[in-house]
Every structure is written in structure tokens, then in C-alpha cells.
Amino acid sequence: MIQSVVFDVGSTLVREDRYWGSWADWLKVPRHTLSALVGAVVAQGRDDGDAIRLVRPGTDVEAERRAREAAGRGEWLDETDLYPDARSALGRLRESGLRVALAGNQSLRAGELLRGLELPVDAVATSSQWGVRKPDPEFFRRVLELGGAAPRDTLYVGDYPALDIRPAKAAGLRAAHIRRGPWGNLWAGTADAAQADWRIDSLDELVEIVTGPST
């Protein structure tokens, strides 16, 4: 029985249009150019930060991120960045008595912004907070601590099979792959995605799987 559900953030709960658009503006390149490069590196299985390095070779992405923050042009999230089903699905899961948490490869700033949205969740954590990123097994050990349940009673939900599904299953968790965003769609047919216990197209589907259909 699932007792805890932990969600990835980017392209699972939050659209990344604003994120990449703001990077393009900062780098002074057309948004379409950076978007296309993000798609290209994703298709090659590379880190999405490589898109920034293609536009500006040799860039230290973390140093550039700090420069953006110092200039008042850092990360930002508000309600419009959430997928339409995100808040309601989180709320329904929590109302059913499950522990609900967020844990993804995000910055400290993103964690602060997510908490500021006052989503119906019990906890929010990021890779920068923990000092470890997916797919490192230590990240998923932390996920289990955050969820507070045994591995087989913990469900991790994410869009990127190689970072979300494969390592979650290796750690003994249940996993749900959501087919949306560039990674979720591009890698939906991979062996990593096939390891998922459930494959879904929306978070409403997930709620029905975990709690049963609404009456």
C-alpha cells in the first residue's frame, strides 16, 4: 500500500517555459534558439545545462546562475508555472491521508519559491539543499527519509526515466513515469521508462491509481 508520494518538480509539476526563456534573455539569444538547443542535448542524453554551454562555450553555469541572482534576474515561479492538474492532485493525495513531498534537481532558490507557493505538501527538498543530485543513490536515500515510509510503500513520480524511474526502482521504490515535457515524451519508449510501475499522462490519472476513482 502506498503511504508516501514524492514528486519530481521540473516538467512533472512545473512547466519550464519561464526557466529557459529567462536564460535565453540573460544570454541575449533568441528564445527559440536556446529552446532548440535544449531539445538537442536532451535527445543526446546530455545535461540540459550543456545548451547554455553551446550558446556560450566555457560558461560556468552555477557562477552564471549566481550572477543572475545578484542582478535581480534570477529564478522565479508563480502559480502560472504549475501544470493545471498539479495543485489539485497534490491536495487530493494529501487529503486521502498520504504523505506528499517534492524532491528534485533544483536550486536553493527554487526550493524557496516552491515553498512560497504554499502547495498542499508536507515537505519540499532540492538537490542543492541536500548536496546530491539525481540519479545518485544517495538522493533516493534522502527521498525515503523525506517520505517517511518503507521503499515499497513510497512512490516517486517523475518525467525523466534515466534520472527518476531507473534510480528510484534501483532503490526499491515504486515509480510512476509521467509522459509530458521534453524528457517525458522523448524517452517514453525506453527500457528505463518501462521499469515504471505505472505510466501516466496526467496527475489526475495518478490520483485515481493511488486512491481509487472519485465518486
> 17-35 pLDDT, tens per residue?
999 999 999 999 999 999 9
- d(Cα 174, Cα 172) in Å, to the nearest integer? 7
The CA-based diameter of the chain, rounded to the nearest angstrom, is 56
pLDDT at position 61, please?
93
Share of the chain above pLDDT 90, in %: 93
Q: 213: exposed, middle or buried (C-beta count within 10 Å: 0-12, 13-18, 19+)?
A: exposed
The mean per-residue pLDDT over the stretch 39-49 comes to 89
What rounded mean pLDDT belongs to the chain? 96
Q: Which of 33-47, 103-117, 138-152, 159-173 comes out lowest in average pLDDT?
A: 33-47
Residue 214 pLDDT greater than 70, yes or no: no
The mean per-residue pLDDT over the stretch 3-18 comes to 97
- d(Cα 91, Cα 145) in Å, to the nearest integer? 21
At 47, the pLDDT band (50, 70, 90 cuts) reads confident
Would you state the cell numbers that stand for residue 67, as one nine-digit string?
550572477
Residue 141 pLDDT greater than 70, yes or no: yes
At 212, the pLDDT band (50, 70, 90 cuts) reads confident
Q: How far apart are the first and last CA of the chain?
A: 21
The mean per-residue pLDDT over the stretch 112-131 comes to 98
CA 154, 159, 163: angle at the middle one, nearest 5? 75
Q: Is the dihedral of CA 190, 33, 78, 106 positive or negative?
A: positive
Residue 215 pLDDT greater than 70, yes or no: no
The mean per-residue pLDDT over the stretch 117-127 comes to 98
Q: Is the dihedral of CA 132, 136, 138, 142 positive or negative?
A: positive
The mean per-residue pLDDT over the stretch 105-117 comes to 96
Phi, psi of 164 (to 5 degrees): -110, -55
82 Cα distance to chain centroid: 12
